Structure 1
């Protein structure tokens, strides 16, 4: 299938597909006239790439998932490296949440010292 067909089937833009290609996530074949062509498995791969991007993985981090990107889910038992990557990412997200919570609490305390009790933020 051509890039427009792949874009339509996955909801990705042509630009995004070229970006995935440039980062080594989505190999393509070229026809003699230079058009990109993708096999059927590219649909699953693009869906997994988009899913991983949506939860905070970068293109560089997704490179570690390449062997797993053609499975129904990149968190597959045949891809133990993906489980390690998810665990690392979850730990990093939790650390960020902890830091943000601490910052919020310090800001609220400082503001309360200056203007009195605050209404709930949220």
Structure 2
């Protein structure tokens, strides 16, 4: 199957398929004319990488899921290594959420202080925001 068909069936761009191939996540044979020729499982593998990417798992981290599928499992997360990747992604995401929450709280505090200092007669001063809505 040609690369365009893999991309169409998987719901991704041709560029995405090429990227996944460059990472060694999918592979194709080359025809005599130089075109890539993918087998039927390439669509399933590309879908898996794409779906995991939508959840925040980087393409480079999807190999355990793909290996699980290639070894005959019905789902990419039927193997212990895949579950560990989930755990790692959740830990990373939780750390990012904590960092963003901390930064957001700091911005809310700065906004409250700046709003309290703003001169009420200044034409360029934005209207004081209801800080309770932000929090």
TM range (shorter): 0.7 to 0.9
- 1:18-77: CA deviations, max 9, x gaps? 11111101111112222111111111111101011111222222234331245553222x
- Give the TM-score taking structure 2 as reference length: 0.78
Give ranges in structure 2 of 5+ residues lacking alignment. 117-129
Matches within 5 A, 1:48-87: 48-70=48-70, 71-76=73-78, 79-87=79-87
Q: 2 CA distance for matches of 1:94 and 1:51?
A: 20
Q: 2 CA distance for matches of 1:96 and 1:38?
A: 37
- Which range is displaced more, 56-65 or 105-114? 56-65
Q: 2 CA distance for matches of 1:23 and 1:60?
A: 7
- Give the TM-score taking structure 1 as reference length: 0.85
Flag the structure with larger Rg: 2
Q: 1:114 deviation in Å?
A: 2.7
User: Which residue in the other structure is 1:16 paired with?
Assistant: 16
Give ranges in structure 1 of 5+ residues lacking alignment. none
Matches within 5 A, 1:1-122: 1-70=1-70, 71-76=73-78, 79-116=79-116, 118-121=131-134
The 3 A distance-change label for structure 1 pair 99 and 3 is same
Q: 1:107 deviation in Å?
A: 1.6
Figure out how many residues of one structure are paired with residues of the other and give that number.
120
Q: 1:80 deviation in Å?
A: 0.6
